[in-house]
Amino acid sequence: MAQMAGQEWFDELFSRINIEEIIGEVVPLTRKGQRLWACCPFHSEKTPSFSVDPTTGLYYCFGCHKGGNALTFLKDYEHIDGREALEELAKRARMELPKMAPRTPQDDKDAALKEEIFKANVAAARFYHDTLWTDEGASALKYLYSRGLKDSDIKHFGLGCAPSSGKALYEKLKSEGFSDEALVKGWLCGEKDGRFYDMFRDRVMFPIINSRDKVVGFGGRVMGKGEPKYLNTSDTPVFSKRNGVYGLNFAKGVGRLDALVLVEGYMDTVMLLKQGIRGVVATLGTALTQEQIRLMKRFVKKVVISYDGDAAGQKAALRALDMFEPSGMDVSVIDYPEGKDPDEYIKAYGREAWEKLPRYKPAKYRMIRAEDGLDITTQDGLTEYTIRCCGILKGVTNAVEYENYLRELSLKTGYSREVLARQAGMAPSQQTEPVPRPRPQPAETLPTELEKAQMQLFALASGGKIPEGVIRREDFDDELLASVYEEERAGLTLSDIIQTLDEGQIERVMRSLNSLPGELTTEDALKLANELLETIRKQRVSDRINELTGRLATASGNEKDRITRELNDLLLRL
Ligand SMILES: [Zn+2]
């Protein structure tokens, strides 16, 4: 981008924008001599240590050492990527962005359709909201009041109601000039035998707004018994359910946000936000996805899972923990007592009690759940429980934490800590001096043969020259490359996907994309892909052989026979 835009263009841009104005919009600045001062929007403080120098166009915080120019400020504060920040700056400077690549007529058509869908979504949100205050919306309004929402809350969250007639929205939006294509592709309306109908009927409506304040879709909740309880906008040119997180627009711009609180549905999100709890978000009807986790990671490093306290919520929390842990985020769980959901709990005991609820670390929460369905007053129950907990402790990498859990478990079960330690797979002699076991860090080493082959394969897949079916998800060991590959195959563009990644991930994707020797013809690309697939297959076999050879040294009896058989088998496949 930088090279293409040219230094002159950047110079012109920065000469036109006023950093004082950009930062002044989000924190009040006070002038002292040359410089302007404020309480830092990136960390929590009472006396100002955040300073802006209008003459150089730079800012710096003496508290948290964040600094940069208008571009980095927008990126960090608005949680947007470099490209979006640049667009924003160019808009302010009334300059046209240099074109990245020549646009085709199809690109222009796609862009126009997207733009129309965004506009239709805004018009639909307004229509649903207006309907709430008419006779048609009476029962929806009653429902919202019954949950304890006030008019001001309803306005703040832009809530609405889809009328039951089944074509009121279609008629309204047509009268405003929207095309059938935009309404159908935007999942606002459907079409059957040439007749159009509304997708959402007789539901309370929650507009889904992304972190850039665009209405990307809707969630609809039935008021009474009907099915499905929740209905969400399906995938459209402007919305992907796998990427969607409800409530992010309210979390954005909250510079000092410490953690996101993840709840199960829109109603929980609204109720907790209304109580003054910040950074509450929900996934949209689907199970938590890696894409959503990456998106959240762009905002915070910490997540508190706050699912319902019933059995289904607890199961979902365990699954969410499994999803979050590899992301390296600091994740914990609130275990609501008496099977309550977050809203019920806060209504019954208040915000302060909520703040005091323990946030359990993953292993601790798993150990709590390990007791589910067991009667530990019986010997069988106690044994099963102990074995389950020791299994959980195997995954604890922090030695101090490990030791604490071990002692706790020993107290609870009556087994000595040595017995428990042995069961959990750590020799007691290693225990005397608790040294933190190093977490496997992705070292900055050169990629292995296998990684290199997979990076190149990824670049080929992304280049669009390989026929469908040649490359599969399983060909990638790297979860990041695998998921980006899948998203691209599902029709997302790389520039859309990049927006959900953090800096490190973007860097890895870029490095992979640049790993090819140069421009390839379709024929050469396919040839290379097949060679790489063969390399990957062989490399995997030889890795497995190495692993098994290592294990053979200590194996005996049946185990030894089994390994030998597998080894013979593998050697034939090399
Ligand atoms: Zn700071």
CATH code where residue 68 lies = 3.90.580.10
CA 48 to ligand 1 centroid distance, Å = 9
For range 44-58, the mean pLDDT: 83
Nearest to 14 by CA among 77, 78, 68: 68
Q: What sign does the CA torsion over 253, 258, 262, 266 have? A: negative
Distance 342 CA to ligand 1 centre (A): 32
The reply to whether 131 and 223 lie within a common domain is: yes
Taking each helix axis from N to C terminus, what angle separates 449-463 and 522-552, rounded to the nearest 10 degrees?
A: 150
**What is the pLDDT, as a whole number, of residue 6?**
67
Residues 369 and 468 in one domain: no
Give 203's DSSP letter: E
* 536/563 same-domain check: yes
Same domain, yes or no: 234 and 247: no
Q: How do beta strands 330-334 and 280-283 pair?
A: unpaired
Tell me, yes or no, whether 353 and 463 share the same domain: no
Considering the domain boundaries, does residue 98 fall inside one?
Answer: no
Q: What angle do CA 388, 364, 243 make, to 5 degrees?
A: 100
pLDDT at 138 over 50: yes
Q: For the CA atoms of the chain, what is the radius of gyration?
A: 28
User: Which one, of 180, 192, 209, lies nearest residue 116 by Cα?
Assistant: 180
Residues 111 and 233 in one domain: yes
* CATH number reported for the structural domain that contains residue 210 in this entry: 3.90.980.10
Specify the range with the lowest mean pLDDT, choosing from 28-37, 134-143, 562-571. 562-571
Beta bridge partners of 192: 195
Residue at which a domain ends, from 239, 268, 301: 239
Ligand 1 centroid to residue 28 C-alpha, Å: 15
Q: Are 28 and 46 in contact (CB under 8 A)?
A: no
**Residue with token string 């036109």:** 16
Sheet holding 359-360, edge to edge: 245-246, 280-283, 260-263, 302-305, 330-334, 359-360
Q: Say how many Å lie between the CA of residue 71 and the centre of ligand 1.
A: 17
Rounded to the nearest angstrom, the distance between the alpha carbon of 64 and the centre of ligand 1 is 4
CA-based nearest residue to 260, from 294, 214, 218:
294
62 C-alpha to ligand 1 centroid (Å)? 7
Residues 452 and 529 in one domain: yes
Q: Which of 137-141, 378-382, 535-539 has the highest mean pLDDT?
A: 137-141
Q: Residue 56 Cα, ligand 1 centroid: separation in angstroms? A: 19
Whole-angstrom distance, CA of residue 399 vs CA of residue 436: 5
From the CA of 516, how far away is ligand 1's center (Å)?
Answer: 41
390 and 458, same domain (yes or no) = no
More confident residue, 401 or 7: 401
Q: How far is CA 376 from its chain centroid?
A: 38
Ligand 1 center to 61 CA (angstroms): 5
Residue located via tokens 């490399």: 539
b/e code 95-109 from CB counts within 10 Å (16+ = b) = eeeeeeeeeeeeeee
Assigned domain for 20 exists: yes
Q: Is the dihedral of CA 426, 428, 430, 431 positive or negative?
A: positive
Share of the chain above pLDDT 70, in %: 92
Q: Which amino acid belongs to residue 232?
A: N
In a domain, 566, yes or no: yes
Q: Could you tell me the distance, in angstroms and rounded to a whole number, from the CA of residue 505 to the centre of ligand 1?
A: 25
Ligand 1 midpoint to CA 441 (Å): 28
Domain assignment present for residue 191? The answer is yes
**What is the Å distance from ligand 1's center to 352 Cα?**
28
Ligand 1 centroid to Cα of residue 44, in Å, is 7
Cα separation, 236 vs 112, in Å, equals: 14
**Domain boundary, last residue among 221, 239, 257:** 239
Convert 391-412 to b/e letters by CB count within 10 Å (16 or more is b): ebbeebeebebbbebbeebbee
Q: How many residues does the chain have?
A: 574
Q: Residue 58: which of 20, 11, 15 has the closest Cα?
A: 20
Tell me, what CATH number does 329's domain have? 3.40.1360.10
Do the domain assignments include residue 366? Answer: yes
Q: What is the DSSP string of 506-528?
A: HHHHHHHHTTSSS---HHHHHHH
Token pair belonging to 7: 């230094």
Cα 23 to middle of ligand 1, angstroms:
13
Cα–ligand 1 centroid distance for 122 (angstroms): 36
The C-alpha angle 101, 103, 104, rounded to 5 degrees, equals: 140
> In this predicted structure, what is the pLDDT of residue 168?
95
Instruction: Calculate the average pLDDT of the chain.
Output: 84
27: its two tokens: 């924190």
Domain-located, residue 449: yes
Is the confidence at residue 350, as pLDDT, over 50? yes
**Res 541: pLDDT:** 81
- Residue finishing a domain among 389, 410, 435: 435
Q: What DSSP designation does 56 have?
A: T
pLDDT tops 70 at residue 375: yes
Closest to 390 in 3D by CA, of 360, 412, 359, 358? 412
155-190 confidence digits (pLDDT tens): 999 999 999 988 999 999 999 999 999 999 999 999
**CA separation for the pair 392, 390 (Å, rounded):** 5
Judging by beta carbons within 10 Å of its beta carbon (0-12, 13-18, 19+), is residue 310 exposed, middle or buried? middle
Q: Are residues 414 and 511 in the same domain?
A: no
Instruction: Give the largest CA-CA distance in the chain.
Output: 82
- The token pair that represents 455 in the structure block: 């990076």
CA of 27 to the centre of ligand 1 (A): 12
**Rounded to the nearest whole angstrom, what is the distance from the C-alpha of residue 256 to the centroid of ligand 1?**
9
Q: Are residues 454 and 564 in the same domain?
A: yes
| Structure confidence by residue, pLDDT tens digits, 430-451 | 444 444 434 444 434 567 778 8
Read out DSSP for 256-303?
T---EEEESSHHHHHHHHHTT--SEEEE-SSPP-HHHHHHHHTT-SEE
Distance from Cα 253 to the centre of ligand 1, integer Å:
15
Q: Among 419-423, 440-444, 498-502, 511-515, which stretch is predicted with the lowest mean pLDDT?
A: 440-444
C-beta atoms surrounding 292 within 10 Å: 24
Instruction: Write the Ramachandran bin of 547: left for phi over 0, alpha for psi from -120 to 50, otherwise beta.
Output: alpha
- CA–CA separation, 428 vs 396, rounded Å? 16
Q: How far is the CA of 43 from the centre of ligand 1 (A)?
A: 5
CA of 160 to the centre of ligand 1 (A): 39
Place of tokens 């993953």: 362
36 Cα–ligand 1 center, Å: 14
Count of domains forming the chain = 5
CA of 297 to the centre of ligand 1 (A): 19
Ligand 1 centroid – CA 447 distance (Å): 36
Closest alpha carbon to 185 in 243, 117, 240, 232: 117
Q: What is the CA(205)–ligand 1 centre distance, in A? A: 38
* CA 492 to chain centroid: 16
Tokens of residue 446, six digits: 């050169």
Structure pTM? 0.62
Do 426 and 469 lie in a common domain?
Answer: no
How far does residue 66's CA lie from ligand 1's centre (Å)?
6
Between the CA of 63 and the centroid of ligand 1 the distance, in Å, is 5
Residue 99 pLDDT class (50, 70, 90 cuts):
low
The answer to whether position 373 is within a domain reads: yes
- 41 is a domain residue: yes
- The highest-confidence range among 132-136, 224-228, 550-554, by mean pLDDT, is 132-136
Q: Check whether residue 393 and residue 334 sit in a common domain.
A: no
Sign of the Cα torsion 554, 559, 563, 565 reads: positive
**50 CA to centre of ligand 1 in angstroms:** 6
Among the ranges 53-62, 105-114, 296-305, 352-361, which has the highest mean pLDDT value? 352-361
The parent domain of residue 315 ranges over: 240-360
Of 371, 293, 286, nearest in space to 331 by CA:
293
Cβ–Cβ under 8 Å, residues 458 and 485: yes
What's the CA-to-centroid distance between 38 and ligand 1, angstroms? 10
What's the pLDDT tens digit per position in 212-263?
A: 788 999 999 988 777 788 889 988 988 888 778 899 888 765 556 789 999 9
Q: Which pairs with CB-CB distance under 8 Å and at least 24 residues apart come from 320-324?
A: 320/262, 320/288, 321/362, 321/365, 321/366, 323/288, 323/289, 323/290, 323/293, 324/293
Nearest CA to 161 out of 135, 196, 187, 179 is that of 135
pLDDT in tens, 480-495: 899 888 888 887 777 7
pLDDT at 291 over 70: yes
